[in-house]
Amino acid sequence: MTLSPWLLLLLALPLLQLGQWVLHRAPVLARFSIPVPVVGGLLFALAILVLRLAGLEFAFATKVDAPWWTWLVTLAPLNLAELASVAGPMMAILAVNTAMTLAFAAFVIYPLLGSDREAALATAGLTGYGVGSTATAVAAMDAITRQHGAAPRATTIVPPTGGFLIDLANAPVIGAFLRWM
């Protein structure tokens, strides 16, 4: 059986509701700031696992035929009128964040790490984390590696460290900070 993107979209709403229900029944998940979509997605994955163990095979159609599909999935829950009212301040915050990250990386981190190829790659990773995410950091490091060659120490240390600190610790830290406020 092949599950189309439309069927998966139809399944998303009940799974989000089920995830919300589970989150209210299991306060330990809320305490660790586990988001509703993660709970719903985990329940879906467990259901698929049980069905596969029972002998039913599933395939997921991943080809998106229409260019508007991505817009539908990513922008549907957004209230664009509200976003328009904060576009100016948001752009200012992004500009200041980018400028401060670049200045900190260039004038503090790069010299502190020794101003060599390893330092350049580690600084590119830090800059990627500062302005984006783990994926941005890895892309920045990949660009530096393609231009100037490999730096094994930085490549080995920066992505896992940053990935752990940002991707794994971010939700509990933000949840604790919001509860503190």
pLDDT in tens, 104-161: 999 999 999 898 888 888 898 888 888 877 778 888 888 888 888 888 888 788 887 8
Phi and psi at 164, nearest 5°, equal -65, -50
For 65-105, the pLDDT digits (tens) are: 556 556 666 666 667 677 778 888 888 988 999 999 999 99
- pLDDT at residue 66, rounded to an integer: 57
Could you tell me the two tokens for 48? 């698929």
Per-residue pLDDT tens digits for 26-61: 888 777 777 878 888 888 888 888 888 888 887 776
Distance CA 33, CA 84 (A): 28
Beta-strand ranges (E) seen in the chain are 2-3, 59-60
Q: Which residue has the tokens 């988001």?
A: 35
